[in-house]
């Protein structure tokens, strides 16, 4: 019975319906690889983009045109991550910006990936590192450095005063515990001397 239901569920849906199901929980995004995994040929993504049902963001990355973005701007982070690499993650200042922990440069999204990235990306995406993240966490469905690692990484590009503000705000929001906050304060004090 389950096989019969799955057959009718899969084959009773159009390509767009299946893409919608996959993309709606992923900030409206679908990649060619994700489409292939659910049995949709890449050419169908191109056809749907030509018809205006999908918007092509970059090579192999599409977004639903009938999608309401998140009110706090997380979509820009999700779009950038999808454009860079499937294993990309938010880095340093962008993690702090995602959580509204301190003022950062809003014109750039800092991303790292364990792979070397050679594709041409928009000026707003800054590739920072090509190593695996030792403290990878998921915030709102977005892979990121941990708050603690992001604060340590941002040292040197963000003023210490703002990093202290980020530590305090992260503690208030329960993103880090007291012990982590004290370790980060100690780290900033040691770096300052």
Share of the chain above pLDDT 70, in %: 93
The secondary structure of the chain, three-state, reads CHHHHHHHHHHCCCHHHHHHHHHCCCCCEEEHHHHHHCCCCHHHHHHHHHCCCEEEEECCEEEECCCCCCCCCHHHHHHHHHHHCCCCEECCHHHHHHCCCCCCCCCCEEEECCCCCCCCCCCCEEEEECCCCCCEEEECCEEEECHHHHHHHHECCECHHHHHHHHHHHHHCCCCCHHHHHHHHHHHHHHHC
Mean pLDDT, rounded, for 76-102: 92
What is the pLDDT, as a whole number, of residue 11?
60
Domains and CATH numbers, the chain: 2-64 (1.10.10), 83-192 (no CATH)
Between 97 and 8, residue with greater pLDDT: 97
What is the pLDDT, as a whole number, of residue 10?
54
| pLDDT > 90? residue 103 | no
Mean pLDDT, rounded, for 1-10: 47
pLDDT digits (tens, 9 = 90+) for 147-176: 999 999 998 888 999 999 999 999 999 999
Share of the chain above pLDDT 90, in %: 55
pLDDT digits (tens, 9 = 90+) for 28-53: 999 999 999 999 998 999 999 999 99
| pLDDT > 70? residue 73 | yes
């Amino acid at each position: 019975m389950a096989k019969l239901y799955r057959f009718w569920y899969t084959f009773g849906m159009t390509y767009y319906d299946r893409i919608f199901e996959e993309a709606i929980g992923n900030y409206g995004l679908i990649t060619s690889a994700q489409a292939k995994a659910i049995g949709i040929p890449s050419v169908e993504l191109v056809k749907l983009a030509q018809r205006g049902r999908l918007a092509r963001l970059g090579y192999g990355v599409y977004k639903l045109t009938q999608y309401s973005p998140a009110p706090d701007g997380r979509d820009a982070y999700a779009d950038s991550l999808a454009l860079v690499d499937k294993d990309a993650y938010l880095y340093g200042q962008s993690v702090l910006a995602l959580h509204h922990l301190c003022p950062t440069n809003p014109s750039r999204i800092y991303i790292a990936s364990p792979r070397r990235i050679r594709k041409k990306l928009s000026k707003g995406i800054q590739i920072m590192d090509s190593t695996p993240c030792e403290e990878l966490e998921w915030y709102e469905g977005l892979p990121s450095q941990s708050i603690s690692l992001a604060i340590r990484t941002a040292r040197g590009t963000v003023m210490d005063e703002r990093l202290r503000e980020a530590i305090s705000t992260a503690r208030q929001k329960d993103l880090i515990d007291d012990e982590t906050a004290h370790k980060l304060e100690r780290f900033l004090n040691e770096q300052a001397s």
